[in-house]
Each structure stands twice: as structure tokens, then as C-alpha cells.
Amino acid sequence: MAALVVAGGHIVKGHESAVTVDQIDPIADALPTGGDILSASDAAQEPATSAIPAPAAPQPPKPAAHSRAIDPDVVALPDLSDQELERVEPRAPLSDLALAGPPKPPKTKMPGDWNGTKLFQPVATAAGLIESKGYAVAVSGVDVVKADETCSDEGKSWACGVRARTAFRAFLRGRAVACTVPPDGGRDTISAECHIGNQDIGQWLVENGWARAAQGGPYVEAENKARTARKGIFGPAPKLDGLPALPAASGPAPVVQDSILPADGGTVTPPVDQPAPAQ
């Protein structure tokens, strides 16, 4: 007895003990695998669409599961009893930067903590006196030479105070002075140390002979050297012989009238031009 089987749209011829397939189409893989055998009459009555099922709707791909092998010996803690545990002190920090402490209070400036207050455009009123920015500063460690002081040299008096002030003004010209005075100035004269850069002003005044050292001050030795070298006010009067002499007066100075109007109230007579003298 022979039977016909539709497989993938092709006719399959079979015998009692064997089945021979003329051609196997890849679409045959989509047929149901129930192993049903249809006869020729059944195959004729079966609709053509029943042999090829509709393709199934595509399913979204499942996300790949990421897993990592974990060694149970690393995760699991050993079984310890309370008697075997011991508390230890924490290790010390690696540096002081790791220590969190309260912020330090701002440092209050005291007269000995700063290098001095800058005094710009200083004016020397005397050798050892400085005025600037509302300050009146007397350089400490020196005795100020007043501007009206005079010195004697071999019985001859000369204005050493003016000379010392002029030299001090030339030293301060165009330079900023730093004195150890409070940030806010006052009306009273303040005795303070002053310097220009690394130059001590009191030292400069005494060693050049433009001021005297105060008794017990730091510049006593500098004054002794200046006296020995006869510098400044300790030296001779300046020689003015090289200066040109003042021109002699040719006659009495003319008297200037207080008013151009005559005193009696009369008219003013214009001056008459005098004829030039004959040559």
C-alpha cells in the first residue's frame, strides 16, 4: 500500500517499510513534528495553508546576565568568638594635614611684629625729624639738630643746623621711609626707629655727623668716629670762597609810590620825553 505525504510542498512516496523523500526543503523544518501521515484524499481536502504554519512573532532578545565568580572564602568571615577579639588603637595620621582642628585666631599685630609703617614723600623739618601722612616722627637713638642751631669752628660761627637739615632732605628725597609707628597717626611726635630698605636712618645721621647720638643709645660709637673724622656738624664750616660774589649795588633803590594819583587831587601831568644827549 502506498501513501502520499506532503512535506514542504513536495510529494513524498512511501512504501510499507520505507519512505523516500525526493527533495527536502528547508521550510520543512517549520512543519509540526507530530509524525502525522496524510492520505492522498485527505491531502486533497486539506487546505494548502494548513501545511505551512504562520511564522511566529519575533521575541525580544533576553538581556545577557553578567555574573562574576566570587570566592566564598574571601567574603565569608571566619567564625570567631567574643573572647578572641581584641580592640586596638587606630594608627596615627600620616601627616598633620589630616588632623582637623579649630581655625587659628587672626594674629594681632603688635609694634614689635611688623617691619614698620610706610611713610611716602617724607619731609625733613630738621636733622632727625620726619613728617609724612599726618605723622611727626623723631628718629630714636639720636639727638635732633634743630634748624636754627649754630656751630663754632675756630671762633667762627656757622649755621650747622640748616646744613644738617639740607643733607637729611637730600637723603630722603624721592624715597619711602618705614618707621615702627602705629597704623593710625597722631598729632604728637612719636619716637621710633626708621629705615629705608636695609639702611638704618639713625645710623646714617650719626655716622655722617648730621646728628648726635643719644646717651646710652646704640649710636655712641658711630658719633665718636664722626667726631674723630670731623664730619658734618663736628667738622669745619663749609668754605664758600668758590661762590661768585654778589654784584654791588649801583645806586639807591627807586621808591615805589603807593598810588599813581597825585596827593593834592590835581591832574596828572604825563612825563615829557627828554631828548637824547648829543653824541
210: cell is 648730621
Distances (CA, A) of 126 to 45, 78, 234, 238: 139, 91, 17, 19
| Max mean pLDDT range (100-104, 133-137, 147-151, 258-262) | 147-151
153: β partners: 156
3-state DSSP percent of the chain in helix, strand and coil, to 5: 20, 20, 60
**Phi/psi-derived region of residue 273, left when phi > 0, alpha when psi is between -120 and 50, beta in every other case:** beta
Cα–Cα distance, 36 to 12 (Å, whole number)? 13
Instruction: Identify the residue with better confidence: 114 or 20.
Output: 114
Kindly tell me the sign of the dihedral angle through the C-alpha atoms of 271, 277, 278, 279: negative
Cα–Cα distance, 179 to 14 (Å, whole number)? 126
212: β partners: 143
CA 113 to chain centre: 22
Residue 254 confidence (pLDDT): 67
Instruction: Identify the residue with better confidence: 252 or 199.
Output: 199
Q: What mean pLDDT is predicted for residues 135-159?
A: 91
Instruction: Identify the residue with better confidence: 67 or 139.
Output: 139
Q: Is the pLDDT of residue 14 over 80?
A: no
Q: Is the pLDDT of residue 226 over 90?
A: yes
Q: How many helices (DSSP H) and strands (DSSP E) are in the chain?
A: 6, 15
**Max CA separation in the chain (angstroms):** 182
pLDDT (tens digit per residue) in 268-278: 565 555 565 55
Report the chain's mean pLDDT, rounded to a whole number: 73
Nearest CA to 207 out of 194, 197, 191, 220 is that of 220
DSSP state of 80: -
Instruction: Identify the residue with better confidence: 166 or 265.
Output: 166
Of the candidate ranges 85-94, 127-136, 149-158, 167-176, the one whose mean pLDDT is the lowest? 85-94
Strand order in the sheet with 194-196: 117-119, 177-179, 194-196, 199-200
Residue 165 confidence (pLDDT): 95
207: cell is 655716622
pLDDT level of residue 202 (50, 70, 90 thresholds): very high
Q: Is the pLDDT of residue 151 over 60?
A: yes
Query: What pTM, to 2 d.p., does this model score?
Result: 0.48
Q: Is the pLDDT of residue 29 over 70?
A: no
Q: Is the pLDDT of residue 163 over 80?
A: yes
Residue 93 confidence (pLDDT): 75
Residue 134 confidence (pLDDT): 85
Nearest CA to 211 out of 185, 178, 234 is that of 234
